[in-house]
Structure 1
Amino acid sequence: MLQLIKKDLYIHKLSWLIYFAMLVFFMYFNKDIFFVIALMSAIVTMYSFYYDEQANGHKLWNSLPFTRSEIVSARYFSLLVVTLIMTVVTVTVEFVLHGGWNTVLWQELVGSFVLLLISGSIFFPLFYTFAQRNAVFILVILSILFVIAGVHVLYYSYIWLIENTMIVQSMGEGLFWSTATAVSLVSYGISWGLSIKIYKAKELL
């Protein structure tokens, strides 16, 4: 399975330079870390689905000694690895450009992680269900738009909860984000199992 994770990273090749250039561009113009990590991780991960479908990669991976569970699991692990890479790079660029980090950095990092898990939970099973080229392209676009919209929805929902309710104050920021992380991890695990079930039952064309 490690080879499949490496494959998901290697297929981007020189595109990594474009991704990092985009990341620096966003950071230079003071885009939120939350937005940058979520968007760039989504782009990298969803491109992997699109690349595999364009290259009929699913046929190749199934002809090699990998189980379908391993193929699906590698994709779920890949999202976590890509998110980690983008987080480290973004935090480093933030420090270089601005000489430090703001006090809510940890909330932005957790927020981006939660959003990506939710996005993956929703769209990964859809990719394995509707794995045709046109459908995959549409799902890639929808998933990226979902992340962009999700950044704003999550941010303003959090602000609304702080200003209009006592939920965050009574729970405390740490417990609130820990709960959000736990819920997103559970949904990611359920989605993981569902995707494996879908892919095992799928006929490859």
Structure 2
Amino acid sequence: MLNLIRRDIILQKWQLLFFIPIILFFILMGSHPVMTFLVASIFIPFNAYAYDEKAETNILLNSLPYTRAEIISSRYLGAIGYMLAAVGVTSLSLVLFDVPFTIKDIAISSSLFLLFSSFTFPLFYIFKTGHIFTVILITFLALAGVGPKAVIYLAQHSTAFIDFIASLSIPVVYTGAALIVFSVYAGSWVFSHFVYQRKAF
């Protein structure tokens, strides 16, 4: 399974040349650290899906001595590994450019990445290849533009819920949020496994 994760890196060696410049672009444009971390986290795993969609790699993968469970697991575990690496590189870049950020920024961006991945990864197994990556990219950009305004609107009109959250201690809020995020990610993993086991190539 580790070889499947390494394969994504090897296949993307040329695209990875753009990884650092993209991070630097967001930093120099003054983007919020959360957005910079999020974009950096998304870069590698979604590029891997985009490559597989164009090359119809699943046909090749299913001819190799890997089970379908291992193929799905390499995607989900690999995404977490790439996210951690992206957080490390982005943190170093922000420090070098003297841009302040907090652990909270990393936690929020990581949670958003895992949630976004949870809802989009299964799409690559449900629908036929073609323009899935393009649709997901447009969706991400739309959410990036509309998402913050939607959160502010909900915060202003959901005072009872906000008051309840505010009454909880910080450790409880963070622990609860982490459990919800990882539960959704695990559920997505199981769902993708279920779909992929029954998919014909």
What 5-or-longer segments of structure 1 have no aligned partner? none
- Preserved CA contact (<8 Å) 1:38 1:112: yes
CA shift, 1:162, in A, is 11
Q: Residue 25 of structure 1 corresponds to which residue in structure 2?
A: 25
CA shift, 1:159, in A, is 6.7
Amino acid at match of 2:173: F
Confirm whether residue 167 of structure 1 aligns to residue 164 of structure 2.
yes
Q: Residue 121 of structure 2 corresponds to which residue in structure 1?
A: 124
- Preserved CA contact (<8 Å) 2:56 2:129: no
CA shift, 1:139, in A, is 3.6
CA shift, 1:2, in A, is 0.3
Q: Residue 145 of structure 1 corresponds to which residue in structure 2?
A: 141
Q: 1:148 and 1:177 mapped to 2: Cα distance?
A: 23
Confirm whether residue 188 of structure 1 aligns to residue 181 of structure 2.
no
Confirm whether residue 202 of structure 1 aligns to residue 199 of structure 2.
yes
Residues 149 and 119 (structure 1 numbering): CA distance in 2 closer, same or farther, change over 3 Å? farther
Confirm whether residue 47 of structure 1 aligns to residue 44 of structure 2.
no
Question: Residue 8 of structure 1: SS of its match in structure 2?
Answer: helix
Aligned length: 200
Q: Residue 62 of structure 2 corresponds to which residue in structure 1?
A: 62
Question: Residue 121 of structure 2: SS of its match in structure 1?
Answer: helix
What 5-or-longer segments of structure 2 have no aligned partner? none
Percent identity, aligned pairs only, is: 25
If the length of structure 2 is used for normalisation, what is the TM-score? 0.87
Q: Residue 14 of structure 2 corresponds to which residue in structure 1?
A: 14
Report the aligned-residue RMSD. 2.6
Question: Residue 122 of structure 1: SS of its match in structure 2?
Answer: helix
- Preserved CA contact (<8 Å) 2:5 2:75: yes
Greater shift in the superposed pair: 146-155 or 37-46: 146-155
Q: Residue 3 of structure 1 corresponds to which residue in structure 2?
A: 3
If the length of structure 1 is used for normalisation, what is the TM-score? 0.86
Question: Residue 89 of structure 1: SS of its match in structure 2?
Answer: helix
